[in-house]
Amino acid sequence: MSGLVILATRSETSYLLINHLAARFDVSMVVFERPRQSKMLRHRLRKLGPRAVAAQLAFLGYDRLVIKPRSRARNAALLAGHDCRPPDSKIDVLDVDSVNSAEVAEVLREKRPGAVVVSGTGIIARRILACAPAFVNIHVGITPRYRGVHGGFWAVYEGRPDLVGTTIHLVDPGVDTGEVLAQATIAVDPFTDTYRTLPVKQYLGALDSMARAVREVLDGRARPFQRTDLESKQWYSPTPSEYLRFLREMRRLRQPEQQAAAL
């Protein structure tokens, strides 16, 4: 009962986390969920309306064409020295369409993990949550203020660079609403950080907290808590105008008197 199962989506940062945990724990299986953008799109259309979704798509296009290529070198420098290779050759890997499928429930019943680590998957159903004693999620954002996606981006957007960080929390059926095990903040560098580098830094800054939290959960020493000093809010992809405000905030942080506040 001390093994781990990891539920993740395929990405460099997930590989980073998996390799980090595999070096410290007995990871009995990794389940990769295939990305389901069309489902997310439908969900957002229903919840936010077509105009907001169109603006978000415009931003995503800009991200692909401009931000991502411009951040590549910086991200490579950040990840240098870390193991970001896919774990397929070392650990049992299963690719599924949804973490809520019967296949996953089967895996969990069979492997009987002490804890399940979650990174980047969709909402996990109650029936899956019932299959293991604890689900631990790594979330790039300080909850409950920055639930949803791009927590670092939105913290800068709101002028709170001190709240750029990562939350390790227990999973409940809501979106990043579970009880907090650990939180780690990172320093924003307004000269080199972009929409794309912040999540990488957030992951890197939380790897050790994650390992510690998982150890505590496995040992039954975890002391989960809820933060009441922050207002709860869920965030989605930015729109172009929101991105402009983010850039303005980053420029403001470049001023020498602001830099002390960010660190």
Residues that bind another protein (CB under 8 A): 70, 73-74, 191-192, 251, 254, 256
**Nearest approach, Cβ of 261 to another protein (angstroms)?**
16
Closer Cβ to another protein, 72 or 109, answer by number: 72
Closer Cβ to another protein, 71 or 166, answer by number: 71
Helical axes 197-219 vs 12-22, angle rounded to 10°: 30
Question: Following CA atoms 151, 154, 155, 160 in sequence, which dihedral angle do they give, to the nearest 10 degrees?
Answer: 180
Closer Cβ to another protein, 64 or 251, answer by number: 251
10 Å CB burial of residue 14 (0-12, 13-18, 19+) is: buried
**Nearest approach, Cβ of 185 to another protein (angstroms)?**
21
**Nearest approach, Cβ of 189 to another protein (angstroms)?**
9
What is the β-pairing status of strands 234-235 and 147-148? Answer: parallel
**Nearest approach, Cβ of 255 to another protein (angstroms)?**
9
Closer Cβ to another protein, 89 or 191, answer by number: 191
Is residue 112 within 8 A of residue 200, CB to CB? The reply is: no
Q: How far apart are CA 144 and CA 232, in angstroms?
A: 5
**Nearest approach, Cβ of 149 to another protein (angstroms)?**
25
- The dihedral built from the CA positions of residue 256, 183, 127 and 17, taken in this order, carries a sign that is positive
Kindly state the tokens that stand for 163.
């709240």
Closer Cβ to another protein, 23 or 66, answer by number: 66
**Nearest approach, Cβ of 93 to another protein (angstroms)?**
36
Nearest to 179 by CA among 155, 156, 128, 213: 213
Half-sphere exposure of 162 (CA within 13 A, CB side): 4
Closer Cβ to another protein, 1 or 73, answer by number: 73
Task: State the residue for tokens 């064409």.
Answer: 65
